[in-house]
Structure 1
Amino acid sequence: MQYVLIIHEVEDYHAWKQVFDKAATIRKQAGERSYQVLKYEHNPNKIVHFSAWTSIEAAKTFFESPQLVQIRAEAGVKSPDFIYLEQLDSGTL
Protein backbone atom coordinates (compact mmCIF):
# COMPACT_ATOMS: atom_id res chain seq x y z
CA MET A 1 0.00 0.00 0.00
CA GLN A 2 1.13 3.54 -0.69
CA TYR A 3 0.36 6.51 1.50
CA VAL A 4 0.36 10.28 1.37
CA LEU A 5 0.98 12.50 4.37
CA ILE A 6 -0.09 16.10 3.85
CA ILE A 7 0.61 18.76 6.44
CA HIS A 8 -0.95 22.16 5.92
CA GLU A 9 -2.40 25.10 7.73
CA VAL A 10 -5.91 26.20 6.81
CA GLU A 11 -7.65 29.51 7.38
CA ASP A 12 -10.65 27.83 9.04
CA TYR A 13 -10.91 24.11 9.77
CA HIS A 14 -14.70 23.90 9.41
CA ALA A 15 -14.67 25.67 6.03
CA TRP A 16 -11.81 23.43 4.87
CA LYS A 17 -13.64 20.30 6.05
CA GLN A 18 -16.73 21.16 4.02
CA VAL A 19 -14.62 21.43 0.85
CA PHE A 20 -12.72 18.26 1.79
CA ASP A 21 -15.95 16.31 2.26
CA LYS A 22 -17.38 17.56 -1.06
CA ALA A 23 -14.25 16.25 -2.82
CA ALA A 24 -14.70 12.69 -1.48
CA THR A 25 -15.99 11.33 -4.79
CA ILE A 26 -13.15 12.75 -6.86
CA ARG A 27 -10.59 11.60 -4.28
CA LYS A 28 -12.01 8.06 -4.44
CA GLN A 29 -12.06 8.08 -8.27
CA ALA A 30 -8.43 9.25 -8.26
CA GLY A 31 -7.31 6.33 -6.08
CA GLU A 32 -7.64 7.33 -2.44
CA ARG A 33 -8.77 4.29 -0.43
CA SER A 34 -8.89 5.56 3.14
CA TYR A 35 -7.95 8.65 5.12
CA GLN A 36 -7.45 10.14 8.54
CA VAL A 37 -7.65 13.83 9.37
CA LEU A 38 -5.73 14.97 12.43
CA LYS A 39 -4.87 18.32 13.95
CA TYR A 40 -1.94 19.64 15.88
CA GLU A 41 -2.53 19.60 19.63
CA HIS A 42 -2.46 23.38 20.12
CA ASN A 43 -3.42 24.59 16.65
CA PRO A 44 -6.82 23.48 15.30
CA ASN A 45 -6.04 24.97 11.89
CA LYS A 46 -2.81 22.97 11.40
CA ILE A 47 -4.13 19.85 9.68
CA VAL A 48 -2.59 16.49 8.85
CA HIS A 49 -4.31 14.44 6.14
CA PHE A 50 -2.98 10.87 6.07
CA SER A 51 -4.37 8.66 3.31
CA ALA A 52 -3.88 5.30 1.61
CA TRP A 53 -3.73 5.25 -2.20
CA THR A 54 -3.75 2.71 -4.99
CA SER A 55 -0.37 4.09 -6.13
CA ILE A 56 2.02 6.98 -5.55
CA GLU A 57 1.62 7.93 -9.22
CA ALA A 58 -2.16 8.23 -8.85
CA ALA A 59 -1.76 10.37 -5.73
CA LYS A 60 0.80 12.68 -7.35
CA THR A 61 -1.33 13.08 -10.47
CA PHE A 62 -4.32 13.99 -8.32
CA PHE A 63 -2.63 16.35 -5.86
CA GLU A 64 -0.64 18.15 -8.57
CA SER A 65 -3.63 18.64 -10.88
CA PRO A 66 -4.90 22.16 -11.65
CA GLN A 67 -8.30 21.12 -10.28
CA LEU A 68 -6.77 20.37 -6.87
CA VAL A 69 -4.75 23.57 -6.85
CA GLN A 70 -8.03 25.45 -7.29
CA ILE A 71 -9.83 23.37 -4.64
CA ARG A 72 -7.02 24.02 -2.14
CA ALA A 73 -7.26 27.77 -2.81
CA GLU A 74 -11.04 27.69 -2.28
CA ALA A 75 -10.54 25.73 0.96
CA GLY A 76 -8.08 28.27 2.37
CA VAL A 77 -5.08 25.93 2.40
CA LYS A 78 -1.71 27.56 3.08
CA SER A 79 1.49 25.97 1.70
CA PRO A 80 0.83 22.23 1.88
CA ASP A 81 3.70 19.78 2.34
CA PHE A 82 3.21 16.46 0.53
CA ILE A 83 5.11 13.38 1.67
CA TYR A 84 4.67 10.25 -0.45
CA LEU A 85 5.30 7.00 1.44
CA GLU A 86 5.53 3.30 0.64
CA GLN A 87 4.77 0.81 3.39
CA LEU A 88 7.64 -1.43 4.46
CA ASP A 89 6.03 -3.13 7.44
CA SER A 90 3.02 -2.98 9.75
CA GLY A 91 1.75 -4.67 12.86
CA THR A 92 -0.56 -4.51 15.82
CA LEU A 93 0.64 -4.59 19.41
Structure 2
Amino acid sequence: MTTVFVRHTVSDYKSWRAIYDAFSSVQEANGVTAEAVYQATDNPNDVTVTHEFATLEAAQAFTKLEDLTKAMQSGGVVGTPAVWFTQKV
Protein backbone atom coordinates (compact mmCIF):
# COMPACT_ATOMS: atom_id res chain seq x y z
CA MET A 1 0.00 0.00 0.00
CA THR A 2 1.19 3.49 -0.89
CA THR A 3 0.12 6.64 0.92
CA VAL A 4 0.53 10.09 -0.59
CA PHE A 5 0.84 13.02 1.79
CA VAL A 6 0.05 16.50 0.46
CA ARG A 7 0.52 19.60 2.60
CA HIS A 8 -0.60 22.98 1.35
CA THR A 9 -1.98 26.30 2.42
CA VAL A 10 -5.47 27.20 1.25
CA SER A 11 -6.97 30.67 1.08
CA ASP A 12 -10.17 29.59 2.87
CA TYR A 13 -10.62 26.13 4.41
CA LYS A 14 -14.41 26.05 4.09
CA SER A 15 -14.29 26.88 0.36
CA TRP A 16 -11.44 24.41 -0.21
CA ARG A 17 -13.30 21.66 1.65
CA ALA A 18 -16.37 22.02 -0.58
CA ILE A 19 -14.21 21.50 -3.68
CA TYR A 20 -12.35 18.61 -2.02
CA ASP A 21 -15.58 16.82 -1.06
CA ALA A 22 -17.00 17.27 -4.58
CA PHE A 23 -13.84 15.59 -5.96
CA SER A 24 -14.47 12.27 -4.18
CA SER A 25 -15.82 10.49 -7.28
CA VAL A 26 -12.63 11.36 -9.19
CA GLN A 27 -10.55 10.06 -6.29
CA GLU A 28 -12.44 6.77 -6.26
CA ALA A 29 -12.28 6.39 -10.05
CA ASN A 30 -8.50 6.86 -9.92
CA GLY A 31 -7.60 4.33 -7.27
CA VAL A 32 -7.91 6.17 -3.95
CA THR A 33 -8.86 3.51 -1.39
CA ALA A 34 -8.87 5.76 1.70
CA GLU A 35 -8.34 9.44 2.44
CA ALA A 36 -8.05 11.80 5.39
CA VAL A 37 -7.82 15.55 5.91
CA TYR A 38 -5.91 17.26 8.73
CA GLN A 39 -5.65 20.91 9.78
CA ALA A 40 -2.78 22.43 11.70
CA THR A 41 -3.88 23.24 15.25
CA ASP A 42 -2.75 26.84 14.95
CA ASN A 43 -3.88 27.56 11.38
CA PRO A 44 -7.04 26.04 9.83
CA ASN A 45 -5.80 26.99 6.35
CA ASP A 46 -2.68 24.79 6.74
CA VAL A 47 -4.03 21.48 5.42
CA THR A 48 -2.47 18.04 5.07
CA VAL A 49 -4.30 15.38 3.05
CA THR A 50 -3.51 11.68 2.78
CA HIS A 51 -4.63 9.35 0.01
CA GLU A 52 -4.03 5.60 0.02
CA PHE A 53 -3.49 3.52 -3.13
CA ALA A 54 -2.82 -0.13 -3.91
CA THR A 55 0.40 0.73 -5.78
CA LEU A 56 3.00 3.47 -6.10
CA GLU A 57 2.21 3.72 -9.83
CA ALA A 58 -1.46 4.46 -9.13
CA ALA A 59 -0.48 7.11 -6.58
CA GLN A 60 1.95 8.78 -8.97
CA ALA A 61 -0.61 8.78 -11.78
CA PHE A 62 -3.22 10.38 -9.52
CA THR A 63 -0.91 13.24 -8.56
CA LYS A 64 -0.41 14.03 -12.26
CA LEU A 65 -4.11 14.30 -13.13
CA GLU A 66 -5.04 17.55 -14.86
CA ASP A 67 -8.41 17.42 -13.08
CA LEU A 68 -6.59 17.36 -9.74
CA THR A 69 -4.55 20.43 -10.67
CA LYS A 70 -7.71 22.27 -11.70
CA ALA A 71 -9.54 21.30 -8.51
CA MET A 72 -6.65 22.49 -6.37
CA GLN A 73 -6.59 25.82 -8.20
CA SER A 74 -10.34 26.33 -7.89
CA GLY A 75 -10.16 25.29 -4.23
CA GLY A 76 -7.78 28.12 -3.45
CA VAL A 77 -4.52 26.26 -2.89
CA VAL A 78 -1.80 28.84 -2.35
CA GLY A 79 1.73 28.18 -3.61
CA THR A 80 3.24 24.81 -4.38
CA PRO A 81 2.11 21.88 -2.23
CA ALA A 82 4.63 19.60 -0.54
CA VAL A 83 3.99 16.06 -1.82
CA TRP A 84 5.61 12.84 -0.68
CA PHE A 85 4.97 9.13 -1.18
CA THR A 86 5.30 6.47 1.53
CA GLN A 87 5.00 2.69 1.76
CA LYS A 88 3.42 0.97 4.75
CA VAL A 89 5.83 -1.51 6.31
Spell out, residue by residue over 1:27-81, the C-alpha distance to the aligned partner (whole angstroms, 9 max, x if none). 0110111111111110000001012112221121111122211111101112211
The 5 A counterparts of 1:1-93 are 1-78=1-78, 79-88=80-89
Cα RMSD, aligned residues only = 1.0
Identical columns (%): 24
SS at match of 2:70: helix
Q: How many residues align?
A: 88
Report the 3-state secondary structure (helix = DSSP H, G, I; strand = E; otherwise coil) of the residue aligned with 1:32. coil
**Which of the two has higher C-alpha Rg?**
1
One-letter amino acid of the counterpart of residue 85, structure 1: T
Q: Which moved more, 1:63-72 or 1:39-48?
A: 63-72
Aligned residue for 1:6, secondary structure, equals strand
Flag structure 2 segments of 5+ consecutive residues without an equivalent.
none
Question: What is the distance in 2 between the residues matched to 1:65 and 1:51?
Answer: 14
For 2:16 and 2:60, locate their aligned partners in 1 and report how far apart those are by CA, in whole Å: 21
TM-score by length of 2: 0.92
